[in-house]
Amino acid sequence: MSARPSRCLTELAWPDVEAYLRRERRLLLPVGSCDQFGPHLPVGADGYVALALARDLAEAHDLLYAPLVAYGVNRPEPYGDYARPGSATLRSKTLHRLLNELLASWAAQGFDEFFLLTASTYDPQAEAMASVMVRRARVRVLELLRADLRPFLSDPHAPEHGGEALTSLLLYLRPDLVRFERARDFVPRSRRRAKVADPGHRGRPTLASPAKGEAIYRYLFELVARRLSDRASAAAPALSVP
């Protein structure tokens, strides 16, 4: 009994990719970062969300996804003077060039529509991704945590960088990587307090739960699935509306 073929591009031989291109030309690409998200989350937290969605959407819609681009544009959020250990960043122009060259290579082979998924909330990363342009191909950037998640959150007005939303998603997707006993709420009221007490995250992670994470994940899945089905609409830079 043969196993089902992988949906991950790099797990296939080139004849398998060639066969895929005879019936389908879309490709999902998750983009993460290596950033501080507080003492309770791994430095690759946002990438785990993007990768999980790419993998599950590819399975549900008979598509391929490329491996996670695990490095992005970040900084000590938002006022810190230094990065916490483990954080590493690319310059905006470096990420832009990296994505341009990857997508151009695939477009030359016949892929004609790319969906870039990111759970980063840092504007320069989104801007670098949104400025990617490839000949004879369409590029769509989906900023997952820009979606309206207020109905799922206990404190929808708190900032979000390793806060309630991302922590809930990780509790659902990768609970083995969450150190929830370290979670502390941090909503600075001034720049000075942010600098003095900066834990590397913003928001209220203590309100997070696996149940919230599952609800948010299913909502994001449906939003992106809708975009995958909407082949005729104009490209949208963010998942801001259902």
SS (H, E, C) 98-162: HHHHHHHHHHHHCCCEEEEEECCCCHHHHHHHHCCCCCCCEEEEEEHHHCCCHHHCCCCCCCCEC
CATH: 3.40.50.300, 3.40.50.2000, 3.40.50.10310, 3.90.1150.200. Which one for 9-227?
Answer: 3.40.50.10310
Q: What pLDDT, in 10s, does the model give residues 101-151?
A: 999 999 999 999 999 999 998 889 999 999 999 998 999 999 999 999 999
Instruction: Look up the pTM and report it.
Output: 0.90
Can you tell me which residue has the tokens 């959407």? 57
Handedness of CA 226, 10, 237, 162 (dihedral sign): positive
Q: Is the pLDDT of residue 213 over 70?
A: yes
* Per-residue pLDDT reduced to its tens digit, 24-50: 999 999 999 999 999 999 999 999 999
**What's the 3-state SS for 214-234?**
HHHHHHHHHHHHHHHHCCCCC
